[in-house]
Amino acid sequence: MSGRATRYLRGLGHHLEPTVQIGKDGITDGVVAATREALLAHELVKVRILTEAPVERKEAGAELAERAGAALAQTLGRTLLLYKRHPHKPKIVLPR
């Protein structure tokens, strides 16, 4: 993903509320399934890592993005921004 596309996604994600939370059990299959479902519905999803989560934020972002088949657009504090283009009806058109 290009730098311009990443900046555009960060701008869109600024006003989003976290849809998925990573809790004390870390990145479970349920968290991955919820993230995939949210990405299919919205394409751009904000994920919150709670303070009791046993994962490091950078590692959690990379792992969740890989397992959900998404791109990590931003890691800011304990918040991740993930993007995955809808396979049939994309809502977000990325700049070139």
2 pLDDT above the threshold of 90: no
Q: Which residues pair with 75 in a beta bridge?
A: 80
CATH numeric code, 3-83: 3.30.110.60
Q: What is the pTM of this model?
A: 0.92
CA 31/CA 89 separation, integer angstroms: 24
CA 69/CA 35 separation, integer angstroms: 10
Q: Which residues pair with 21 in a beta bridge?
A: 48
Write out pLDDT tens, residues 32-87: 999 999 999 999 999 999 999 999 989 999 999 999 999 999 999 999 999 999 99
95 pLDDT above the threshold of 90: no
CA 1/CA 39 separation, integer angstroms: 17
Element (H, E) at 64: helix 57-68
96 pLDDT above the threshold of 90: no
